[in-house]
């Protein structure tokens, strides 16, 4: 694993394992982790900028929660985490700088993910609906919106809340895709 990330002076380093869940911050599904699985969270704190997020994602995907995952689930995790983290950089931290906390663990049913930032809240304090928009001419395509469609169609138990000045997003990447 790389120990030189990120180089912008913000804390990141190797993922920090911590105790599992807790009453104030349970996993996305609320289910207790299987004792045979790693019950601790892998935690990474990264600066909310594009380069730091890119390095952190590469670092995170080499960590214990991702070891031995199927190529499909690993790919889904990479896409979803990249979309979520880039949305935070582009929107939550558009007007100010800050850190992003990423927590990941394996649990019964899938890979639980929790993301927290102290940037601007989601408009209306709710997630975008992520409805599929039919494609038109390339020149007429909107800047975004496809990311939330991908996220919503890949994860389960997607939850957002604004609490204590922080955005908190949690979701489960299921071991087996059941969505159609």
- Domain with 77 in it: what CATH number? 3.30.565.10
Q: Are 173 and 154 in contact (CB under 8 A)?
A: yes
Residue 10 falls inside a structural domain? no
Buried b (16+ CB within 10 A) or exposed e, 163-173: eeeebbbbbbb
State residue 127's pLDDT score: 92
Tens digit of pLDDT at every position of the chain (180 positions): 333 333 333 333 333 333 333 333 333 433 333 334 445 899 999 999 999 999 999 999 998 899 889 999 999 999 999 999 999 999 999 999 999 999 999 999 999 999 999 999 999 999 987 665 555 555 554 555 678 999 999 999 999 999 999 999 999 999 987 554
Residue 2 falls inside a structural domain? no
Which H or E run includes 152? helix 146-152
Residue 180 falls inside a structural domain? no
State residue 36's pLDDT score: 40
Residue 8 falls inside a structural domain? no
State residue 81's pLDDT score: 98
Q: Read off the DSSP letter of residue 125.
A: G
Residues 77, 79, 84, 90, CA torsion sign: positive
State residue 113's pLDDT score: 98
Domain of residue 98 covers 16-174
Residue 74 falls inside a structural domain? yes
Q: Alpha-carbon distance 12 to 55, whole Å?
A: 10
From its phi and psi, is residue 110 left (phi > 0), alpha (psi between -120 and 50) or beta?
A: left
Residue 44 falls inside a structural domain? yes
How many domains does one find in the chain? 1
Write the CB contacts of 148 (distance below 8 Å, at least 6 apart in sequence). Answer: 83, 127, 128, 129, 130
pTM (2 d.p.): 0.73
Which among 113, 118, 136, 122 has a CA at the least distance from the CA of 60? 113
Residue 170 falls inside a structural domain? yes
Which among 156, 115, 167 has a CA at the least distance from the CA of 31? 156
Residue 179 falls inside a structural domain? no
Exposed, middle or buried by CB within 10 Å (0-12, 13-18, 19+), for 140? exposed
- The distance from CA 139 to its chain's CA centroid, rounded to whole angstroms, is 30
């Amino acid at each position: 694993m790389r120990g030189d990330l990120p180089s912008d002076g913000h804390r990141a380093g190797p993922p920090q394992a911590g105790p599992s869940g807790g009453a104030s911050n349970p996993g996305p599904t609320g289910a207790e982790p299987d004792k045979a699985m790693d019950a601790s969270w892998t935690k990474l704190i990264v600066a909310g900028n594009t380069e730091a997020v890119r390095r952190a994602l590469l670092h995170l995907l080499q960590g214990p929660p991702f070891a031995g995952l199927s190529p499909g689930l690993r790919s889904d995790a990479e896409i979803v985490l990249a979309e979520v983290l880039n949305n935070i950089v582009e929107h939550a931290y558009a007007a100010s700088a800050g850190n992003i906390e990423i927590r990941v663990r394996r649990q019964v049913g899938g890979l639980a993910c929790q993301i927290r930032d102290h940037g601007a809240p989601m408009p209306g304090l709710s997630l975008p609906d992520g409805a599929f928009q039919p494609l038109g001419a390339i020149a007429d395509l909107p800047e975004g919106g496809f990311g939330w469609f991908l996220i919503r169609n890949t994860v389960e138990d997607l939850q957002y809340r604004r609490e204590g000045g922080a955005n908190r997003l949690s979701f489960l990447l299921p071991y087996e895709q059941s969505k159609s």
